[in-house]
């Protein structure tokens, strides 16, 4: 009976904790079971339960705790709570919290995610993607742009300006396209078949003068610049990073000092700028420069403020003292990028974006814009590059035959093909549905860091896998190589807009732990305001969350009390897995913040692993939302299951590594017992799923078609059009079943000795098969044409001996006459 009552007490407390019902129900459970134990079982158990009820009452009932416990906890909290700098406060206050906040609660409300359906693009937006984007990308050959020109063709530049590619975010009243975030994402995914084109279009529509003017510019600035930016008369760039300020943008040493100077023949109040910027995209061709600098007023010409802080201004290209036009050479893809220098550059105060009243507001402006721009440009480019890899790697491995079989049927090749398919599916789900959040009014600061880091890392991994399965085809550069240059340029996406190492180790969890947590920001605000009542509500609400997450993580890890989720039977277990890890993540996050305190800022590997858990749960949620909202095609269930298994395995691995390395070992062991009482539960995706996905993307299947829906798949048409390898592979795959039967027929005939022994080339065997009446005339003609296209897709380029020497005088004649 004692054990039964003990079990009843534990079960009752777990139920109360799971629901975060508060102190009173917990006290009731202990009192009732204590009374029953006193009369029916053990007096010791009754004593323990009564003591527990008394302690819970003293610490959990507001009337008791506020008189003695809260003041003591508040005093201690003031001493140990980390100090948040002004720049950190700006970053924390920027953007909004939505689904990322739900994942911190341990009990995510799926309806809040699913209520805003992604309804797709408008007719106007879809037409632009189908027509203008197709025409633009069809004018690009990677070798021509990167090696022969180191630039886009002149007619492509004119086309981009004419069709307002640089004005996607600019309102229609100023002549722009005013596209939704979903449309911007769709455009960049399609253009991502060529990195140079994607970057050229993406950057002016991301962080830069256009976005800053739309949100903060004066009417005069908007009326002058926005129409000119929209139609391409002005090409913008934005100078933020420099030799000593890369990812740490708040430490930029560039200065603007308030002074009087001459402007257009008059003495006016303005700024004398001295700056040196590097890695500025579009700088070599820009006509207007957005510039971030530290603004000072040492002589008090504007008032009492001496140091205004980071400020943003617009400067015309021909401004005296500014050096612009030289180029950097970005690895792989030499898109327009270069340095900008300025020595004693004088500009009037009305060049400040937003006018004088926005002086010193530059950091807030940049952070608010980054929360949206980082969700779109590079993540969309990554998703588009991944889709391009699906089309090319899937097609190539099906038509490339070794040992008389397509290499796509070899398990060693199927494994990377499956990864390519799944990472593409995840990336597309993440960018499309996060863009939809933006269109609903969200400014997702933490998801922007998640997408920037994980999707660009996906891009690097996908391109590596695609290169591997192509073999010699894509390690030989030339006009026929459709992957090599993009592969080498993937490092750029890893580095820009916040280096990935910093984004993972500092930003995802570092920002999310405070910004997204239901109580931490409230606790810090109560400390700053010396508001003990607000602190009491926040702190003990936080304590209830910890107990709730512990109960949810433990019971769900045991398979008890799985949450009800609004998904079909195919996705339900994965959504329940996300919910379980949400509770475990919330508990581990609180444990890390409690045991490490302000030291957590410096424990970047701990922060990174917690960020990995959060990120994989976010990406998994986007896959589930995509599955829920779109009509699945035949074979998509395998793709969804592989993707979800991959993400949940990654989340569990990150949590395991966190528990292995948390410095407080007793706490780590307790966390392991609570969150993983039965050990690890999520394995890597199964081999049978990998085989199915490899076949799906290497054949003319609904899954391949769906993954390529937003990619460039049509044959090049019109002036300047280039061949599209995906269109050529799609053509071959449509006839593959027929071709495969004939390959087998001729291989079998050769093995039986029905064809000449020296008929070693496929073409020779086709002719011999026709002569031996093994092939009909129609079959022979079909195979001649089919194999000609296959051979073209397998062919690599070669060049004259002296082609690559920039200085021909340095050439060595290795074979003199």
Record the tokens describing residue 551, joined without a space: 């109960």
Query: What is the pairing mode between strands 322-324 and 337-348?
Result: antiparallel
- Rounded Cα distance between 456 and 123, Å, is 30
Compute the distance between CA of residue 549 and CA of residue 761 in angstroms, rounded to an integer. Answer: 66
Q: Which of 20, 276, 497, 523 is catalytic?
A: 497
The pairing of beta strand 405-406 with beta strand 401-402? antiparallel
Distance in angstroms (rounded) separating the CA atoms of residues 389 and 127: 24
Pairing of strands 236-239, 307-316: unpaired
CA dihedral 608, 611, 617, 619 (to 10 degrees): -90
In contact, 797 and 480? CB cutoff 8 Å: yes
Torsional sign, CA 85, 86, 89, 91:
negative
Q: Please tell me what DSSP assigns to residue 352.
A: B
Query: DSSP assignment, residue 507?
Result: I
Q: Token digits for 60?
A: 């959990």
Structure tokens at 376: 């779109």
Shortest CA distance to 616 belongs to which of 649, 589, 638, 639? Answer: 649
- Identify which of 64, 60, 40 has the alpha carbon closest to the alpha carbon of residue 52: 60
At 541, is the secondary structure helix, strand, or coil?
helix
- Two tokens at 624? 């589930």
Q: Give the side-chain half-sphere CA count within 13 A for 92.
A: 21
Between strands 288-296 and 307-316, the pairing is: antiparallel
In the chain, the N- to C-terminal Cα span, in Å, equals 104
Q: HSE of 322 in the Cβ direction (CA atoms, 13 Å)?
A: 26
What sign for the dihedral angle of Cα 427, 480, 474, 489? Answer: negative
Question: Is 351 within 8 Å of 313 (Cβ atoms)?
Answer: yes
The residue among 118, 139, 127 whose CA lies nearest residue 196 is 139
Beta pairing class for 255-263 and 288-296: parallel
Contact 287, 316 (CB under 8 A): yes
Q: Where are the alpha helices (DSSP H) in 630-724?
A: 636-661, 665-675, 687-697, 702-707
Token readout for 716 is 């090049």
CA 239/CA 141 separation, integer angstroms: 29
- 587 vs 802: CA distance, rounded Å: 64
Q: Nearest to residue 257, comparing CAs of 304, 315, 298, 313? A: 298
* Spatial contact of 314 and 240, defined as CB atoms under 8 Å apart: no
| Contact of 288 with 295, CB cutoff 8 Å | no
Q: What is the DSSP string of 181-244?
A: HHHHHHHHHHHTTSHHHHHHHHGGGSTTHHHHHHHH--HHHHHHHHHHHHTTSS-EEEE--BTT
- Give Cα separations from 37 to 45, 227, 234, 497 (angstroms): 7, 80, 82, 63
In the residue annotation, 497 being an active-site residue is answered as: yes
Q: Annotated catalytic sites, by residue?
A: 497
């Amino acid at each position: 009976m004692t054990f039964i009552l003990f079990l009843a007490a534990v079960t009752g407390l777990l139920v109360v904790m799971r629901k975060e019902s508060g102190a009173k129900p917990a006290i009731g459970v202990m009192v009732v079971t204590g009374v029953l134990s006193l009369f029916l079982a053990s007096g010791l158990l009754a004593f323990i339960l009564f003591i527990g009820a008394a302690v819970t009452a003293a610490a959990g009932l507001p009337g008791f705790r506020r008189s003695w416990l809260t003041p003591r906890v508040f005093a201690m909290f003031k001493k140990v709570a980390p100090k948040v700098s002004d720049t950190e406060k700006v970053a924390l206050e920027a953007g909004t919290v939505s689904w990322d906040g739900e994942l911190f609660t341990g009990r995510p409300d799926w309806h809040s995610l699913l209520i805003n359906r992604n309804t797709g693009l408008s007719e106007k937006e879809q037409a632009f993607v189908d027509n203008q984007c197709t025409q633009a990308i069809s004018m690009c050959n990677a070798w021509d742009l990167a090696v022969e020109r180191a630039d886009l063709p002149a007619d492509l530049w004119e086309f981009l300006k004419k069709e307002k590619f640089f004005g996607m975010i600019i309102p229609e009243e100023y002549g722009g396209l005013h596209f939704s975030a979903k449309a911007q994402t769709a455009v960049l995914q399609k253009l991502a078949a060529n990195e140079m084109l994607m970057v050229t279009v993406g950057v002016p529509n991301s962080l830069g003068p256009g976005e800053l003017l739309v949100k903060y510019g004066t009417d005069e600035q908007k009326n002058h610049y926005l129409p000119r930016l929209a139609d391409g008369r002005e090409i913008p760039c934005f100078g933020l990073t420099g030799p000593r300020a890369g990812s740490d943008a708040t430490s930029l040493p560039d200065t603007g000092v308030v002074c009087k100077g001459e402007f257009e023949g008059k003495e006016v109040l303005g700024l004398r700028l001295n700056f040196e910027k590097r890695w500025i995209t579009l700088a070599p061709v820009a006509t207007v420069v957005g510039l971030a600098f530290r603004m000072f007023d040492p002589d008090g010409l504007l008032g009492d403020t001496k140091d205004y802080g980071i400020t943003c201004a617009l400067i015309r290209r021909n401004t005296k003292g500014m050096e612009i036009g030289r180029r950097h050479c970005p690895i792989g893809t030499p898109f327009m990028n270069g340095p900008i220098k300025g020595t004693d550059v004088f500009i009037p105060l009305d060049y400040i974006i937003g006018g004088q009243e926005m002086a010193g507001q530059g950091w807030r402006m940049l952070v608010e814009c980054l929360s949206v721009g980082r969700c779109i440009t590079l993540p969309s480019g990554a998703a588009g590059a991944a889709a391009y890899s699906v089309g090319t790697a899937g097609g190539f491995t099906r038509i490339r035959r070794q040992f008389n079989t397509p290499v796509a049927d070899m398990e060693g090749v199927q494994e990377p093909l499956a990864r390519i398919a799944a990472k593409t599916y995840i990336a597309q789900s993440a960018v499309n549905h996060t863009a939809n959040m933006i269109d609903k009014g969200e400014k997702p600061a933490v998801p922007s860091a998640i997408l920037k880091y994980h999707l660009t890392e996906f891009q690097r991994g996908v391109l590596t896998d695609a290169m591997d399965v192509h073999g010699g085809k894509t390690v030989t550069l030339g006009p026929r190589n459709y992957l090599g240059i993009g592969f080498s340029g993937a490092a750029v996406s890893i580095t820009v807009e916040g280096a990935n190492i910093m984004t993972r180790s500092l930003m995802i969890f570092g920002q999310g732990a405070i910004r997204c947590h239901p109580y931490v920001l409230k606790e810090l605000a109560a400390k700053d305001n010396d508001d003990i009542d607000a602190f009491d509500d926040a702190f003990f609400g936080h304590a209830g969350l910890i107990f709730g997450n512990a109960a949810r993580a433990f019971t769900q890890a045991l398979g008890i009390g799985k949450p009800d989720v609004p998904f079909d039977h195919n996705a339900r277990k994965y959504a329940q897995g996300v919910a379980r890890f949400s509770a475990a993540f919330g508990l581990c996050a609180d444990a890390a913040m409690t045991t490490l305190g302000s030291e957590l800022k410096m424990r970047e590997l701990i922060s990174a692993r917690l960020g990995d858990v959060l990120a994989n749960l976010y990406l998994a949620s986007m896959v589930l939302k995509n599955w829920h909202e779109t009509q699945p095609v035949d074979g998509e269930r395998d793709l969804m299951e592989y993707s979800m298994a991959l993400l949940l395995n990654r989340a569990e691995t990150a949590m395991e590594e966190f528990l292995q390395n948390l410095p407080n070992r007793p706490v780590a062991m307790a966390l392991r017992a609570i969150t993983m009482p039965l050990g690890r539960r999520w394995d890597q995706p199964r081999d049978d799923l990998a085989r199915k996905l490899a076949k799906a993307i290497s054949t003319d299947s609904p899954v391949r078609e769906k993954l390529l829906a937003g990619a460039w798949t049509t044959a090049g048409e019109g002036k300047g059009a280039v061949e599209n390898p995906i269109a050529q592979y799609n053509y071959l795959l449509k006839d593959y079943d027929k071709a495969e039967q004939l390959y087998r027929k001729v291989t079998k005939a050769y093995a039986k000795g029905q064809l000449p022994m020296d008929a070693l080339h496929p073409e020779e065997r086709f002719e011999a098969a026709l002569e031996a009446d093994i092939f009909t005339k129609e079959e022979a003609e079909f195979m001649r044409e089919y194999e000609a296209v296959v051979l073209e897709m397998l062919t690599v380029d070669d060049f004259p001996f002296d082609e690559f020497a920039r200085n021909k005088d340095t050439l060595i004649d290795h074979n003199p006459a």
